[in-house]
Structure 1
Amino acid sequence: MVHAFFNPAQAAIFNEMAPRKDSTFEVHYFGIHGPAATTRAILAISGANFKSVVPDDWAAVKTKMPFGVVPILKEISVDGKEIQIAETDSIERYLARKFGLLGSNAFEGTVINTFISSTNEIAGPVLAKYFAAQDPDNKTEIKAKIFKDSVQPWIAYHEQYLADNGSNGHYVGTAFSLADLQTAFLVKMVVGLWGDVISESNNPALWKVKVTLEANPGYVAWTQTETFKALDAMSKQLIGF
């Protein structure tokens, strides 16, 4: 049986709702920032009406998910239609298209997606190796290897390309893109794990991406909510940043 998420009968509703910006949204994830942080940030800087939903009974919810994981995005139109989207990357790209965060033409979109791919290679499977390690000595060794082999080259390349765009906090032109948001959160993660290996003085272009997001009025408003503060506190408690 086709899972409800993949039922082709939804195509007409998806096509109708995809360009609309007046929907309300629910981001279903655990009570930390985690992989849902970028999704929430997209909605915040875009001025969307959204809320975070933490599953009360994860064991029951898990069985209903297409891959047994969250986040899940639920979108509800003003006339009551509803769609749901699974998987972090799919959610982010859907929202990025909706809110204009994938460039203004095919070239910009391809460049932005290239930077997203490069950043996701670090933020996803590479850092997962560090968080999965249990033995303290092994964890220290893995951490050093990840930095040398993956994070350090990423810093050098992305600092250069951001500088080529004027060190203005964006990868392409002067507008926010999904690549900017991904990098802003990776910078925060890298600083949380390795300290000041990225700093305003040593990596001004990368640092500018982080502070540009943090200065966005919609994002500032989001960080001042009780929901964000609770997510932030739990994230710091569990992983330290």
Structure 2
Amino acid sequence: MVVYRLHYFDFAGRAEIARLLFHGAEREFDDVRYTEKEWAEFKPKTPFGVLPVLEIDGKMFGESHAIYNYLAKQFGFYGNNNLEQLEIDVVMSLMKEMEPFILEAFFETPDEKKKEELITRGFKENIPAYLRKNEKIMQDSGYFVGDKLSLADIAVYDLTNFFMRRDPNLMTPYPKLSASRKLIETYPGIAAYIKSRQK
């Protein structure tokens, strides 16, 4: 049996989608979480000096989106054919388009006033635009693809979780996305993980 180890810090960040994929598939993995001191010691051993890293039978792989894609394919969360995979890739591309805004507004701007301005503007412009696009392509089933959970659903769920820390009512105008969130939160494996995460 394949042995998986997921290396990251002790918070959600770029590893949470991978964690949700593992739990959704109910596959065992070693969820390795580092302190800053531990990370400094482990960093030279990683492929690119950044986390997350997915270790498969002792071999390490970097790059978060590559990790998501691999796990989704392995565990059946990447569609049933090329067209469904394309639909998933569209959703993932929309998420990647948000990354420059997220990095600048939440993590890379040292000036607190400027940071707050960027975040406020983002909640008026960038984030609603992103959510409207996803609401438009979300199916009535509550899934982006077919009638079962995919990487696309998990990725949007995770990103909206991040935004909802600041605005808990963010999803009110988006009924399809809200319904999708409820499906994910009751999905076997994921539901148990979310419950344990809240302790």
Q: TM-score, normalised by structure 1?
A: 0.75
User: Is residue 2:185 matched to residue 1:214?
Assistant: yes
User: Is residue 2:39 matched to residue 1:39?
Assistant: no
Is this contact kept in 2: 1:29–1:55, CA < 8 A? yes
Matches within 5 A, 1:1-241: 22-55=1-34, 57-76=38-57, 82-122=58-98, 124-131=99-106, 132-162=108-138, 165-166=139-140, 168-199=141-172, 202-225=173-196, 228-229=197-198
- The CA distance in 2 between the partners of 1:31 and 1:190, in whole Å, is 19
Distance 1:229 1:28, change over 3 A: farther
Is this contact kept in 2: 1:23–1:49, CA < 8 A? no
- The CA distance in 1 between the partners of 2:87 and 2:195, in whole Å, is 33
> Aligned-pair distance for 1:222?
2.0
- The CA distance in 1 between the partners of 2:175 and 2:34, in whole Å, is 39
| Aligned-partner SS, 1:29 | strand
Distance 1:194 1:55, change over 3 A: closer
- The CA distance in 2 between the partners of 1:169 and 1:134, in whole Å, is 39
Query: Which 4+ residue blocks in structure 1 deviate beyond 3 angstroms?
Result: none
Is this contact kept in 2: 1:71–1:88, CA < 8 A? yes
Counterpart code for 1:177: S
Greater gyration radius:
1
> Aligned-pair distance for 1:66?
2.0
> Aligned-pair distance for 1:107?
0.7
Counterpart code for 1:31: D
| 1:15 aligned residue | none
> Aligned-pair distance for 1:61?
1.2
> Aligned-pair distance for 1:195?
3.7
Unaligned stretches of 5+ residues in structure 1: 1-21, 77-81, 231-241
Q: TM-score, normalised by structure 2?
A: 0.90
- The CA distance in 1 between the partners of 2:39 and 2:20, in whole Å, is 24
- The CA distance in 2 between the partners of 1:51 and 1:213, in whole Å, is 22
Is this contact kept in 2: 1:183–1:209, CA < 8 A? no
| Aligned-partner SS, 1:49 | coil
Q: How many pairs align?
A: 196
Aligned sequence identity (%): 27
Is this contact kept in 2: 1:25–1:73, CA < 8 A? yes
> Aligned-pair distance for 1:187?
1.4
Is this contact kept in 1: 2:84–2:145, CA < 8 A? yes
- Deviation readout 1:157-200 (Å, 9 max, x if unpaired): 111211xx21x22101111111100100111112212341212x
- The CA distance in 2 between the partners of 1:93 and 1:54, in whole Å, is 21
Counterpart code for 1:41: L
Of 23-32 and 177-186, deviating more is: 23-32
